[in-house]
Chain A
Amino acid sequence: MTDWFMQFLIRLSGTARDFLPIFVVLIGFQLFVIRKPLNNAGKTFAGFIYVLLGVAIFLEGLDMALFPIGKLMASQLTTPEFLGINTLDKTINWQTYTWVYVFAGSLGFAIALAEPSLLAIATKAEQISGGTIRAWGLRIAVGIGLGIGLALGTFRIVTGTELYFYIISGFTIATLQTLFTPKSILSIAFDSGSVTTTMVTVPLVTALGVGLAQAIPGRNPLSDGFGLLALASLYPIIAVLSYAQIAQWLNKRSLSSRP
């Protein structure tokens, strides 16, 4: 118990060190440039403590539960026994790994929903838009996008195709979509699409990528394991832009059907 407590204290101080620069900038500018005391200083301070404790406890829980299980599942899904293949057989094709894509896709969907930053920005977007955009709708759209991004990313690792092909085509699709998306939702869509990759996603997805690159013959974990994150932050943008288009279309229809 004391061991565990010490370990938690170390994590807490690590988190505090990571956040220190931001707190210094915030307080420094408030006191020396704006030159006004904080209103509700006590509340603000309590909030800082909450954020710190929350992040430290959250990371501790991730380490205990989600990371081990995520890694374990990735390795279980790529063992020759599970896939029913002979490792010496050189004719392994991409279909052998179908369950890996399905797993990556559903994992992507699930982690997007648990991402705290996304939750924060989605709530804000719902407030600002006065309810035109629903927080849940946004988060599900991001989840679908992240799922597609990760499934594509694992497919890329298995097949060993070039990363920039997926990135540049993603950019092109997003650019084309921009032309047809209502301008009022455009910037919210871009932002909520790109916030996916923080606390939960980064470590979990990196582990998945490196694990896969190790398990698949002919892949180098140092160079093939990367790039999943880039896809994980690009494809949600496309998904949310589509959601914005659909929401706009539904809104119009319900307005015109009303007498």
Chain B
Amino acid sequence: MFKKRFINQLINSFFDLSPILAVVSIFQVLIIRQSIPDVSHFIIGILFVLVGLTLFIQGLELSLFPLGESMAYAFARKGSLFWLLAFAFCLGFSAAIAEPALIDLGAQAAELATRKAQIAQSIEAKNNYVLGFRIIVAISIGFAILIGVLRIIRGWPAYYPVFCAYICIALMTPFAPKDILAIAYDSGCIATSTLTVPLVTALGVGLATAIKGRNPMTDGFGLVVFASLTPIISVMLYGIVL
């Protein structure tokens, strides 16, 4: 039974990936008119992507989704608001702090800051800057998940925090240094990573199902979008203050 599920999922993954193959081959053949160099390498790579995607989806359904939901139920039954909020914060923080793409972005931000002579020209100063950048982004993600969970418990509509964040960003943009702007905007989407999205979704949906009077469809979602907006605000602040 397990084998059959794996093969089914593999076929699904192939359909999921087919648009990429179509775009690449159409452009190569019709517009650029050059053959793909190293075709065998390309095909092996695509097979890897297929198998990887299949395993990832299986793993999600086997462990992360059920675990996230069962933990949400357990917290709801336990009834301790403090621990639930602590869990929400830690989940967001831990997901963001180790994100490799965020580390790269922080290094680029440090590069910009040295060029403008905001920080000293030493490796130590740069590393400190990157560490500060990562911690600030991770804190704002943790904070966003915390607010999101609080929102589900209190039953506030999902779009309130999102709008507040939009307005904050729009108001702060004119005051933020111009070259940190693009990095700030990008930081938000980078830090909500591969594992955070399914886990946070499972947590939100689980909580909204477990708490009476909440609807998983309207209340359970909306955590991820807020978590991708708060880092923008905090990185802009980081740029203004430093």
Residues of A participating in the B interface, judged by any CB pair closer than 8 Å: 14, 17-22, 24-26, 29-30, 33-34, 36, 38-40, 43-66, 69, 72-73, 76-77, 82, 99, 103, 106-107, 109-111, 113-114, 116-117, 119-121, 124-125, 128-129, 143, 163-164, 167-168, 171, 174-175, 178, 183-188, 190-191, 193-199, 202-203, 206, 222-223, 226-230, 232-233, 237
Whether B74 pairs with A114 at a CB distance below 8 angstroms is no
List A contacts of B26 (CB < 8 A).
Answer: 106
Partner of A194, one of B54, B87, B189: B189
Question: Which of A22, A77, A171 is B94 in contact with, Cβ under 8 Å?
Answer: A22
Q: Determine the residue in chain B with the shortest Cβ distance to A168.
A: B170
Contact between B97 and A21, CB atoms less than 8 A apart = yes
How many A-B residue pairs have C-beta atoms within 8 angstroms? Tell me.
Answer: 315
Chain A residues touching B, majority SS: helix
Pick the contact of B37 from A19, A72, A109 — CB < 8 Å? A72
Given contacts A22-B94, A51-B60, A51-B195, contact A188 B217 (CB under 8 A): yes
Q: Does B91 make an interface contact (CB < 8 A)?
A: yes
Distance in angstroms from B147 CB to nearest chain A CB is 14
Q: Which B residues lie within 8 Å of A72 (CB)? A: 37
Q: Which A residue's beta carbon lies closest to that of B75? A: A34
- As a 0/1 sequence over residues 83 to 105 of chain B, the CB contacts with chain A under 8 angstroms (1 = contact) are 10011001100110111110000
Given contacts A77-B32, A195-B224, contact A47 B179 (CB under 8 A): no
- Give the residues in chain B near A119, CB-CB below 8 Å: 16, 57
A203 touches B101 (CB 8 A): yes
How far, in whole Å, are A57 and B170 apart by their CA atoms in the complex? 40
Does B108 sit within 8 A of A, measured CB to CB? Answer: yes
Question: Using a Cβ–Cβ cut-off of 8 Å, how many residues does chain B contribute to the interface with A?
Answer: 104
CB neighbours (8 Å) of A39 from chain B are 70
Chain B contacts of A197 at CB under 8 A? 189-190, 192, 228
Q: How far is the CA of A160 from the CA of B173 in the complex (A)?
A: 18
What is the CB-to-nearest-CB distance from A33 to chain B, in angstroms, rounded to a whole number? Answer: 5
Q: A21-B97, A163-B185 are in contact. List 16 more A-B contacts (CB 8 A).
A: A20-B98, A29-B71, A36-B74, A53-B55, A54-B53, A65-B44, A65-B46, A66-B20, A103-B27, A113-B19, A120-B198, A129-B217, A163-B182, A188-B221, A198-B197, A227-B181
Residues of the A chain whose Cβ atoms lie less than 8 Å from the Cβ of B70: 39
16 contacts between A and B (CB under 8 A): A22-B94, A24-B94, A43-B62, A58-B52, A103-B27, A110-B19, A113-B19, A114-B53, A185-B217, A186-B222, A190-B162, A194-B228, A197-B189, A222-B111, A227-B186, A229-B189
List the B residue with the shortest CB-CB distance to A199.
B194
B216 within 8 A of A: yes
Contacts of B188 in A (CB 8 A): 230, 233
Contact partner, A29, options B24, B34, B90, Cβ 8 Å = B90
Complex Cα distance, B95 from A47, in Å, reads 18
Q: Which residues of chain B come closer than 8 Å to A178, judged between CB atoms?
A: 159, 163
Q: Does B158 contact A (CB under 8 A)?
A: yes
Closest beta carbon of chain A to B12's beta carbon, Å: 9
* Neighbouring B residues of A164 by C-beta, 8 Å: 173, 181
Q: Are B222 and A116 in contact (CB under 8 A)?
A: no
Cβ-neighbour of A69 out of B42, B78, B166, B222 (below 8 A): B42
Q: Kindly list chain A residues whose C-beta atoms are within 8 Å of the C-beta of B101.
A: 202-203, 206
Q: Is the CB of A113 within 8 A of B16?
A: yes
Set A21, A61, A114: member contacting B95, Cβ < 8 A: A21
Q: Is B58 part of the contact surface with A, judged by Cβ < 8 Å? A: yes
How many angstroms from the CA of A49 to the CA of B183 in the assembled complex?
A: 33
CA distance A147 to B224 in the complex (A): 21
Is the beta-carbon distance between B20 and A110 smaller than 8 angstroms? yes
Say yes or no: A190-B158 contact (C-beta < 8 A), given A60-B52, A226-B186. yes
What separation, in Å, do the CA atoms of A76 and B34 have in the docked complex? Answer: 10
Q: Any chain A CB within 8 A of the CB of B11?
A: no
Residue B146 at the chain A interface, CB threshold 8 Å: no
Across-interface contacts of A53 in B (CB, < 8 A)? 52, 55, 59
Whole-angstrom distance from the CB of A253 to the nearest CB of chain B? 21
